[in-house]
């Protein structure tokens, strides 16, 4: 029971310390805004934005560069989205440990051991990271499929005389239903272009953030087209054929793996039934023959 109380107090002190650090930094920001004459009304959006700009959030993301890469691949690039992930990753271990101790207290059972609490803390800290990695991988797969559908549309837009930027704008607006992920990426990229950034630099930056081979190859071709201004049809046709060959190869590999798995299933379930049907009568005859001899 003493260990239970000590662990509860330590967790409570940790939560209070983190909350006090955030409140202190928020108080400093509100004081600065008050001097500048900016209103400091409290809402969820501003709270997440301030937490994303806090030292705690920045240090948590700076310690794990892989998390930043996964957030960029998922499309969570705003400060409030990163702050939401950091808040979940830091708060979930504490919540799990408190729930475990509360359940032990209500059930009148001995307090949770240190190993159990450390395991819950590790699960609470790693579970958001695992969800983030799986979500980013699924989104990369959707982007790879959408870029293959977008190439014929780009060829059609180039055939009517549009430039690279005009074609990308039409694709980002009109393709929101059939190409939701790619349209969102193009919209974010074109917003930065409208703010004064170069289209070539933004194509390269978006390709690095998304980190999908198919999208990177397509954006490299579009970058070259925006600089040279010719040869669009041949480049896009070669890119479409390359992506089709990659997809066919991936499907063939998946089918070969599936056939190997199905052979294991057939051996495990069909072979015993087949042996019973074929060898059953002979085995029964041998048993009856030994019985008659006895």
Decide which of 128 and 290 is more confident: 128
Mean pLDDT of 29-53: 60
- For residue 66, what pLDDT is reported? 86
Quick check: 72 and 103 in contact, CB under 8 A?
no
Number of residues that make up the chain: 294
Band (pLDDT 50/70/90 cuts) for residue 186 is: very high
Band (pLDDT 50/70/90 cuts) for residue 65 is: confident
| DSSP code at position 269 | I
Count CA within 13 A, CB hemisphere, residue 186.
27
Q: Is the pLDDT of residue 13 over 90?
A: no
Q: Is the pLDDT of residue 10 over 50?
A: yes
CA–CA distances in Å: residue 166 to residues 159, 160, 172: 12, 11, 10
Mean pLDDT of 65-73: 88
- Domain locations along the chain: 142-231, 243-279
Is the overall model pTM greater than 0.75, yes or no?
no
Q: Is the pLDDT of residue 266 over 80?
A: no
- For residue 191, what pLDDT is reported? 92
pLDDT in tens, 195-224: 888 888 999 999 999 989 889 888 888 888
- For residue 1, what pLDDT is reported? 43
């Amino acid at each position: 029971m003493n260990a239970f109380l000590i662990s509860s107090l330590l967790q409570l002190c940790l939560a209070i310390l983190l909350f006090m650090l955030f409140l202190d930094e928020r108080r400093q920001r509100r004081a600065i805004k008050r001097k500048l004459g900016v209103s400091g009304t409290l809402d969820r959006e501003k709270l997440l934005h301030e937490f994303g700009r806090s030292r705690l959030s920045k240090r948590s993301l700076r310690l794990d560069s892989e998390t930043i890469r996964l957030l960029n691949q998922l499309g969570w690039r705003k400060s409030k989205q990163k702050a939401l992930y950091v808040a979940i990753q830091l708060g979930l271990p504490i919540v799990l440990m408190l729930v475990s101790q509360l359940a032990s207290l209500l059930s009148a059972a001995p307090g949770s051991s240190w190993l159990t609490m450390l395991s819950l803390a590790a699960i609470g800290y790693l579970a958001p990271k695992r969800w983030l990695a799986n979500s980013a991988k699924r989104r990369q797969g959707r982007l790879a499929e959408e870029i293959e559908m977008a190439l014929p549309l780009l060829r059609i837009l180039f055939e009517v005389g549009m430039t690279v930027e005009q074609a990308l704008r039409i694709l980002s607006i009109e393709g929101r239903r059939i190409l939701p992920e790619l349209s969102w990426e193009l919209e974010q990229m074109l917003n930065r272009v409208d703010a004064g950034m170069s289209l070539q630099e933004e194509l390269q930056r978006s390709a690095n953030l998304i980190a999908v081979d198919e999208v990177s190859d397509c954006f490299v071709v579009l970058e070259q087209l925006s600089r040279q201004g010719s040869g669009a049809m041949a480049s896009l046709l070669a890119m479409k054929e390359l992506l089709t060959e990659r997809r066919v190869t991936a499907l063939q590999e998946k089918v070969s793996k599936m056939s190997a798995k199905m052979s294991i299933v057939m051996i495990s379930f069909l072979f015993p039934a087949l042996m019973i049907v074929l060898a059953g009568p002979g085995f029964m005859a041998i048993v009856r023959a030994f019985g008659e001899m006895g």
